[in-house]
Amino acid sequence: MSFDWPTALPLIFAGLMGLAILIYVILDGFDLGIGILFAAAEDAEQDTMIAAIGPFWDANETWLVLAVGLLLVAFPLAHGVILTALYIPVFVLLLGLILRGVAFDFRAKVPAGRKHRWNRIFFLGSLIASLAQGYMLGVYVLGLDVGLGGMAFGVLVAFCLAAAYAAMGAAWVIYKTEGELQKKAVRWLRTTLVLTALGMAAVSLATPFASPRIFDKWFVWPEMLYLSPLPILSALLFLWLWRQTFHLPKPDDRHSLTPFLTLAAIFALGFAGLAWSFYPFVVPDRLTIWQAASAPESLAIILAGTVVVLPIIIFYSFYAYRVFGGKATDLTYD
């Protein structure tokens, strides 16, 4: 029996796009979160926090470029529908990323008296980008509803995702720093964990009620039994991590990476729940993966290029994290 490529190719690209989005949320989430935490840090602490993300933040954003690129070339119909509905928040997202990138470089070049101005812009750009992403997620969950209800839910998810990114940022600071800043990051993590849990609970509760189809995928037997580990494991991980914050940092800095890995696992569980909720739709209740996909011949050519590019991205990401592992050192500019 021959392999059904026309059916399989859209699924492959949906999986690749989903993987790119998940990796982006985890990796760029922590450096966006560190930008948000700038508001609570002292000047010297801000330099150390920048040193903790400096070697990684450009590479992290590669995953966003890959995800959007795959959406454009593999699912052009969905790309048109989604970006038309989210045109303004996408513009706001790009504005935040631009402000953030400019501030990242300019804070190192300006005289010391003007540095605080660019620190505030770096915070503002990180917050704007995080809020825009959360708003888009909220509107998408409700089927691209741009009415009053959809906008209100988008605002709620925007603030909760910003808190989740701040939690990721705090967890990364715990891993990359030591001393008083590390202790302060533990307190930041404890606070932002509560808001993150509330945000994930809001999305999890709203998603099944977004459409009867999604409700039926979660609240029918035996699917309810099979899917129950997702919310149960997420809740247990949240509770365990929150309790761990009262015992961090540990002697000899043991398990300093554990909070970040735990949050990454929580994000992955939440993403799995969303993926199950919307499958097989790429635009909720409008376009399935196969309806929105490009022609199989086009997908085959794109897949050949992806097979070359994706391993390169994975390799240099692993290489950068390996080379620049360990604690962040004092930031100096020669």
Supply the Cα-derived Rg of the chain in whole angstroms.
20
Q: Residue 243: which H helix or E strand, with range?
A: helix 229-244
Burial of 138 (0-12, 13-18, 19+ CB in 10 A): buried
Name the amino acid, one letter, at 67. A
- The pLDDT tens digits for 103-123 are 988 887 887 778 889 999 999
> Residue 209 gets which letter from DSSP?
G
Mean pLDDT of 138-162: 86
Q: Is residue 305 part of a domain?
A: no
- The pLDDT tens digits for 284-309 are 888 999 999 998 889 999 899 889 98
What is the per-residue pLDDT for 1? 47
Alpha carbon 74 to chain centroid, angstroms: 21
How much of the chain, in percent, has pLDDT values that exceed 70?
97
- Sole residue written with tokens 């509560």: 194
Cα–Cα distance, 44 to 209 (Å, whole number): 47
Name the amino acid, one letter, at 191. T
What is the per-residue pLDDT for 146? 80
Mean pLDDT of 24-47: 90
Q: Is residue 315 part of a domain?
A: no
The tokens for 119 are 């620190």
- The DSSP bridge pattern shows strands 287-288 and 281-283 to be antiparallel
Is the pLDDT at 331 greater than 60, yes or no?
A: no
Instruction: Count the neighbouring beta carbons within 10 Å of the beta carbon of residue 44.
Output: 12
The tokens for 143 are 């089927």
Q: Is residue 310 part of a domain?
A: no
Q: What total of structural domains would you count in the chain?
A: 1
Name residue 283's beta-bridge partners.
287
Q: Which of 220, 221, 218 is nearest to 207 (CA)?
A: 218
Instruction: Count the neighbouring beta carbons within 10 Å of the beta carbon of residue 25.
Output: 25
Q: Is residue 196 part of a domain?
A: yes
Q: Is residue 306 part of a domain?
A: no
- Sole residue written with tokens 């933040």: 57
Q: Is residue 301 part of a domain?
A: no
Is the pLDDT at 140 greater than 60, yes or no?
A: yes
- Sole residue written with tokens 């590019």: 309
Is the pLDDT at 139 greater than 60, yes or no?
A: yes
Which band of pLDDT confidence, cut at 50, 70 and 90, is reported for residue 278? confident
How much of the chain, in percent, has pLDDT values that exceed 90?
46
Q: Is residue 1 part of a domain?
A: no
Which band of pLDDT confidence, cut at 50, 70 and 90, is reported for residue 3? low
Q: What share of the chain is helix, strand, coil (3-state, %, to 5)?
A: 80, 0, 15
Range list of β-strands (E), 158-310: 281-283, 287-288
Q: Is residue 120 part of a domain?
A: yes
Name residue 281's beta-bridge partners.
288
The range of the structural domain enclosing residue 52 comes to 11-296+324-332
Is the pLDDT at 334 greater than 80, yes or no?
A: no
